[in-house]
Amino acid sequence: DQQVKQNSPSLSVQEGRISILNCDYTNSMFDYFLWYKKYPAEGPTFLISISSIKDKNEDGRFTVFLNKSAKHLSLHIVPSQPGDSAVYFCAASPLRDMNRDDKIIFGKGTRLHILP
Amino acid sequence: NAGVTQTPKFRILKIGQSMTLQCAQDMNHNYMYWYRQDPGMGLKLIYYSVGAGITDKGEVPNGYNVSRSTTEDFPLRLELAAPSQTSVYFCASSYSKGHGVAYGYTFGSGTRLTVV
């Protein structure tokens, strides 16, 4: 069963416009959410995270929004740049359950193409 | 800083062969992880370690073994390679569980393994 779902396998956005990547989750015990970016032939790199006590976190061009009632989060990239073309993974973790040493659970990823 | 180093980058194995995927980190991180990524799928946790001498199973441990004799190294062993183990393997590390979910894991660049 998929606890973290990214329902869009790919997304194309014009350079300079806003990119919105979506993620849904099923486990109400998740209390940290993360976004990773992955280029081909490289490992994922951490982009931004948000705690469940917040509904928004911003870092430069990247903003993550969390809607706990809908169990939904989204990553906004404004403005989109060619270097943003990559696979983006949504991930979640039940940090407060300290007896469980796991683990960040990853979605399947969304491939973002920034068009010139 | 080297970060997380994985070797080899590519390998082709015949069914039934064995090999060890190497992973080393130079950040003095306590937590280390092995993930596999199958095409079109998210990352799935194979094994993890919370410190030298301590390892535990993740979501998909069958067919693999690990050891953690030092803080720096976390090798992954495949004893009898099977085609189902064809995948890209990523090693990751974090200072602690809390640090990992708030600031992300540091990933290596991966080992692409093909079993024929």
A98 C-beta neighbours (distance < 10 Å), count: 9
State the pLDDT at residue B1: 62
Residues of A in contact with B59 (CB under 8 A): 103
> How does the average pLDDT of chain A come out, rounded?
92
Nearest to B102 among A32, A42, A44 (CB): A32
Whether A59 and A75 have beta carbons less than 8 Å apart is answered as no
State the pLDDT at residue A27: 87
Distance from CA of B107 to the nearest CA of A (A): 5
Interface check A53 vs B, CB under 8 A: no
The per-residue pLDDT for range B82-105, each reduced to its tens digit, is 999 999 999 999 988 777 777 889
Among residues A37, A43, A38, A92, the alpha carbon closest in space to that of A62 is found at A37
Q: CA B24 from chain center: how many Å?
A: 10
The per-residue pLDDT for range A9-64, each reduced to its tens digit, is 999 999 999 999 999 999 888 889 999 999 998 999 999 999 999 999 999 999 99
Interface check B88 vs A, CB under 8 A: no
* Range name among A29-43, A75-89, B43-57, B95-109 with the lowest pLDDT average: B95-109
Please give the helix or strand (H or E) that residue B47 lies within, else none. strand B43-51
Is the pLDDT at A2 greater than 90? The verdict is no
Is the pLDDT at B71 greater than 70? The verdict is yes
Average pLDDT, stretch B22-48? 93
Among residues A73, A53, A51, A82, the alpha carbon closest in space to that of A6 is found at A73
State the pLDDT at residue A102: 55
